[in-house]
Amino acid sequence: MVLTEEEFLRLGIDNTTDIELERLHKSDGLIEAYRNIVDILRKYCDLKEEYYSLVALWIIGTYNHRDYMSYPYLFFNAMRGSGKSRILRLISVLSCGGEMLNSLTEAVLFRTDGTLCIDEFEGVNRKGNESLRELLNSAYKKGTKVKRMRKQKTMEGEQQVVEEFDVYRPICIANIWGMDSVLGDRCLTLILEKSDKKQITMLMEIFESDKIVKETTFLLKKLHPSEIKNSQRENTPKSVVNVVISPVENLYKEWNDRVYRTYNNTHTTHYTNNTNNTNNTLLDKLGGLNIEGRHLELAMPLLIIAEKIGEDVLDTTIKTFQDIVVDKKGDDIIESSDISFIDFISQEPDNNYFVSVNELTKKFQEFLQSNEDWINSKWVGRALKRLNLILGRKRKSRGVEVILNIKKAQGQMRMFR
């Protein structure tokens, strides 16, 4: 894609040599954009080392997020004065269609496009925001639609018609107090600490006029050579990000084929998508990892991008996600009452004897080191039934006694860990 000197000047990329112009024209831009974003983040933000690459991949993914089945929210949990507003604004400048907000409403979520960066996000948990929370709980996944009624004038008079909105989009959020567990499960949670690096904290936030920022957004938005002709006949030609990383759908299909064959002990593809199965570095590595369910769903887009950048970036990203999954599972065990209860039962002696529910309740209180009102024999009895942890049950004059399914509890804890 050849730009005129005037177009480069309009981008603010002045004093550009012929060699630099040739590099910008010929390079697919993706690897260079990734390296630039990492450098920009290092210049303006003090993050944990593993965060620089993860945030850079997330920013790149905003340019083709609709190719993925889901796209994780990026959540910065930060103390006051730690630079959360700065990194949100920087991400909004670098991301596709990025916009910085201090609050979010339903209408903004489904009536606008592009990347949303939302600061001071504590308000989402306030009373009256239930509908917004419901939207956010599903807007990370492709295919989420919202329907609203609007008035339309016709020959017969005013009528109510249905409008449909797509709420799937990249969202980056930050707050001080943390996130509720449901919405938190849709997020990549990164912790920000207050920086003492004056070479960073004393910089002014002149992102839009920074030459490397302008050059990087240009690299991400510019057309791939194969799309230059398409730009003359299509309204939305694909950028370099779309072309270099696509086709993503085929990779999802191939992954499902591999999973099906592996866990059904068969080589047939009768019930699969019949894709051509090839050696794929990402899928080969994923097959040996313990990342599954929503953790895998959220990780997949960034892992796909990482592989296109380079195998070293892919390996680093896989390690980062493994650490995130371990931390999240640990948090789940602490925060979830059901998982804590299963953990408690898994550590009980497997003697196949009847034990009193009242006695279990007291021991569970000791296990949690808590005597909160909800930890009572009624809750424990219902939890045993709900979680199917009872092998035998009988009613005595002093209450109910049960034989515990210790092996099942132990098996479930292996899965959680």
Element spanning 410, H or E:
helix 406-416
- pLDDT, mean of residues 162-172: 86
Q: What is the pLDDT of residues 180-200, one digit of tens each?
A: 767 888 889 898 888 889 999
- CATH T-level topology, domain 336-416: Arc Repressor Mutant, subunit A (1.10.10)
Helix 406-416, helix 311-335: angle, nearest 10: 140
Block residue for tokens 């650490």: 323
Element spanning 305, H or E:
helix 293-309
232 pLDDT more than 80: no
Cα–Cα distance for residue pair 244/312, rounded to 1 Å:
18
In terms of Cβ atoms closer than 10 Å to its own Cβ (0-12, 13-18, 19+), residue 92 is: buried
Q: What is the pLDDT of residues 288-323, one digit of tens each?
A: 777 888 888 999 999 999 998 989 999 999 999 888
Q: How far is CA 412 from CA 64, 192, 218, 338, 390, in A?
A: 37, 33, 49, 11, 14
> Which position has the higher pLDDT, 272 or 374?
374
Cα–Cα distance for residue pair 338/253, rounded to 1 Å:
34
223 pLDDT more than 80: no
Q: Tell me, what's the pLDDT at 27?
A: 40
354 pLDDT more than 90: yes
Domain spanning 5-241 has what CATH number?
A: 3.40.50.300
Beta partners for residue 164, in sequence order: 147
- Counting other chains too, the contacts that 124-132 makes at CB distance below 8 Å and 24 or more residues apart are 124/183, 125/180, 131/106, 132/104, 132/105, 132/106
Of 218, 220, 223, which Cα lies nearest the Cα of 233? 223
Q: Tell me, what's the pLDDT at 134?
A: 79
> Which position has the higher pLDDT, 61 or 154?
61
Cα–Cα distance for residue pair 133/124, rounded to 1 Å:
7
Q: What is the pLDDT of residues 26-76, one digit of tens each?
A: 346 788 899 999 999 999 999 999 999 999 999 999 998 989 999 999 999
Q: From start to end of 119-197, where are the E strands?
A: 145-154, 157-166, 171-175, 187-192
Q: Tell me, what's the pLDDT at 16?
A: 44
Q: What is the CA radius of gyration of the chain?
A: 26
407 pLDDT more than 50: yes
Domain ranges, ordered by start, for the chain: 5-241, 244-334, 336-416
Of 251, 246, 248, which Cα lies nearest the Cα of 224? 246
Q: Tell me, what's the pLDDT at 179?
A: 74
231 pLDDT more than 80: no
330 pLDDT more than 70: no
Beta partners for residue 401, in sequence order: 356, 394
Of 379, 40, 390, which Cα lies nearest the Cα of 206? 40
227 pLDDT more than 90: no
> Which position has the higher pLDDT, 124 or 174?
174
Lowest mean pLDDT among 111-115, 245-249, 275-279, 328-332: 275-279
Q: Tell me, what's the pLDDT at 290?
A: 74
Cα–Cα distance for residue pair 345/201, rounded to 1 Å:
50
Element spanning 313, H or E:
helix 311-335
Burial 156-187 (b: 16+ CB within 10 A, else e): eeeeeeeeebebbbbbbbbbeeebeeebbbbb
As a whole number, the mean pLDDT across the chain is 80
Length, in residues, of the chain: 417
- pLDDT, mean of residues 11-39: 62
* Cβ–Cβ under 8 Å, residues 156 and 42: no
